[in-house]
């Protein structure tokens, strides 16, 4: 552990002086090592040669400036610690594959994140999962002191962006050293009004800059508890991209991983340059799974349902709106009725962003009066079922079911019936974390 701290001290020192020429002997002295020892230990712990790490970090910082500023390329080169324009161009082209000028208008995005050895977590993952989700890393975040602000708005759309910009402007005007702070946000339940939405936005601080914390009656200090997180980067260009990235973590990566959903907070770190946001770092709370749930073959009876099916990229939102309106017209509520059962289905294998995608929400209708409004039936028969916590669109769970089925010699897919997911409400106030879903695909015995 002492070696880890020593190398991390060297990393922190390099990060503070990326824009300067620093001798390797100075870095080694910070780690209390000789230069040869630092070379060896640094590579062992980070997977990057020492000089290469510095070059990649400087290039990553330059890539941000190329996209978010109109500074001349030669100024960016000097600002990011390169000795000359020529050295910068050569290094940038080697790492990114494009010249700095071409990169400025390209769709490619280059990023090399700062290494934090104290957050590194060792775990065993299936090879196919680690290859499919190479960008997802599991880290252990240490507790962090933060200055927090709850932004309120009657509008849900754009809530997070407005919270960030409001907080950033307020802190900038107060003189708080934002260059040294991480800005992190999370969605929270409204504190005192059902008509408003809230987003908690936070800035980290250290003992050194604690005296500079601005006074504001709307601010308070707190501690982010930390814990295990699955982390991934996403572009911050629009809400759909961010939601899709969250769904990829929650609905695709998590069910295939060796982790389950943790009890700590979902977090978003705002990656920005002087207030202009380029990316979000998503933190999905996880904990190590005790055991993987098993697949069961269940004979399910037919169920009459009222279904709401919509097509296209907005089909999930539209189906939810139609179901909600239908329930409100009949003064029914999914929250209070124990008799109404919720189901979901979609055309598995088609991207939700495609025009060919469809999504369907359905409810069971017990009682003779409601039974008359059924417009569809979930056909009974044998189903291969897997029950897990609710993971978004449940894509990863369906992947596991179909993978199991196609390798099974006893059962085959029944094309005459449709797959579905049945929601099982949780037993306490935190329905989001305690609700489970039973995903079911229709099967039949293989013909001999």
Using only C-alpha atoms, what is the Rg of the chain? 26
Residues above pLDDT 90, as percent of the chain = 35
| pLDDT tens readout for residues 369-415 | 566 678 899 999 999 999 988 877 778 888 888 878 877 788 888 88
User: Which portions of the chain are predicted below pLDDT 70?
Assistant: 1, 120-131, 192-195, 333-339, 366-372, 427-432, 448
Q: For 255, list phi and psi in degrees, rounded to 5.
A: -65, -25
**DSSP H or E segment with residue 422:** strand 420-424
CATH architecture of the domain 296-445 equals: Alpha-Beta Barrel (3.20)
- Partner residues linked to 372 by β-bridges: none
- C-alpha–C-alpha distance, residues 62 and 90, integer Å: 13
* Length of the chain counted residue by residue: 448
192-198 contacts, C-beta under 8 A, 24 or more apart: 193/152, 195/154, 196/152, 196/153, 196/154, 197/152, 197/153, 197/154, 197/155, 197/156, 197/159, 198/150, 198/151, 198/152
Could you say which DSSP state residue 345 is in? E
CATH code for residues 2-103: 1.10.10.60
CATH code for residues 144-224: 3.30.70
**Contact (CB, 8 A) for 433 and 426:** yes
- C-alpha–C-alpha distance, residues 318 and 358, integer Å: 11
Contacts of residue 276, defined as CB under 8 A and 6 or more positions apart, other chains included, come to: 68
Contacts of residue 174, defined as CB under 8 A and 6 or more positions apart, other chains included, come to: 214, 216
47-50 contacts, C-beta under 8 A, 24 or more apart: 48/115, 50/24
Written as six digits, the tokens of 163 are: 């919270």
pLDDT of residue 151: 93
Task: Record the pTM.
Answer: 0.65
pLDDT of residue 336: 45
**Contact (CB, 8 A) for 412 and 405:** yes
Q: 5: number of CA atoms within 13 Å, CB side?
A: 2
Strands 296-300 and 381-389, by their bridges, are antiparallel
Distances, alpha carbon 177 to alpha carbons 42, 173, 203, 214, 274, in Å: 30, 10, 10, 11, 11
Q: 401: number of CA atoms within 13 Å, CB side?
A: 27
pLDDT of residue 113: 83
Burial (CB < 10 A; 0-12, 13-18, 19+), residue 136, is buried
pLDDT of residue 396: 82
Nearest to 80 by CA among 89, 70, 71, 88: 88
N-terminal to C-terminal alpha carbon distance within the chain: 60
- C-alpha–C-alpha distance, residues 153 and 159, integer Å: 7
């Amino acid at each position: 552990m002492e070696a880890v701290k020593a190398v991390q001290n060297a990393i922190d020192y390099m990060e503070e002086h990326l824009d300067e020429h620093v001798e390797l002997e100075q870095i080694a002295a910070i780690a209390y090592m000789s230069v040869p020892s630092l070379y060896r230990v640094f590579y062992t712990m980070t997977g990057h040669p020492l000089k290469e790490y510095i070059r990649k970090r400087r290039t990553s910082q330059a890539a941000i400036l190329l996209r978010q500023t109109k500074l001349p390329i030669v100024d960016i080169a000097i600002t990011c610690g390169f000795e000359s324009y020529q050295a910068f161009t050569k290094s940038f082209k080697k790492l990114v594959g494009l010249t700095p000028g071409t990169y400025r208008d390209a769709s490619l995005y280059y990023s090399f994140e700062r290494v934090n050895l104290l957050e590194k977590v060792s775990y065993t993952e299936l090879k196919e999962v680690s290859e499919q989700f190479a960008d997802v890393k599991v880290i252990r975040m240490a507790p962090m002191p933060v200055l927090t602000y709850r932004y309120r708005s009657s509008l849900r759309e754009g809530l997070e962006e407005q919270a960030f910009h409001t907080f950033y402007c307020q802190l900038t005007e107060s003189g708080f050293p934002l260059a040294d702070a991480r800005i992190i946000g999370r969605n929270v339940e409204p504190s005192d009004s059902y008509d408003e939405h809230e987003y908690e936005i936070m800035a980290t601080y250290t003992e050194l800059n604690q005296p500079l914390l601005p006074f504001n009656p709307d601010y308070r200090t707190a501690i982010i508890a930390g814990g295990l997180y699955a982390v991934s980067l996403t572009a911050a260009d629009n809400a759909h991209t961010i939601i899709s990235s969250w769904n990829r973590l929650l609905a695709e990566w998590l069910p295939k991983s060796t982790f389950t959903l943790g009890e700590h907070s979902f977090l978003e770190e705002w990656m920005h340059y002087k207030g202009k946001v380029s990316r979000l770092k998503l933190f999905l709370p996880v904990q190590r799974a005790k055991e993987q749930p098993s697949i069961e073959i269940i004979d399910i009876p037919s169920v009459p349902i009222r279904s709401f099916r919509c097509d296209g990229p907005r089909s999930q939102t539209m189906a939810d709106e139609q179901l909600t309106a239908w329930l409100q017209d009949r003064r029914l509520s999914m929250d209070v009725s124990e008799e109404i059962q919720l189901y979901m289905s979609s055309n598995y294998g088609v991207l939700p962003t495609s025009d060919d995608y469809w999504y369907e929400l359905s409810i069971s209708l017990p009682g003779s009066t409601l039974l008359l409004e059924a417009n569809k039936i979930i056909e009974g028969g044998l189903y291969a079922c897997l029950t897990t916590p609710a993971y978004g669109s449940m894509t990863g769970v369906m992947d596991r079911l179909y993978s199991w089925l196609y390798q099974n010699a006893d059962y085959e897919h029944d094309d005459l019936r449709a797959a579905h997911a049945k929601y099982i409400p949780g037993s306490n106030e935190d329905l989001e974390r305690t609700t489970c879903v039973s995903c079911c695909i229709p099967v039949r015995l293989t013909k001999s």
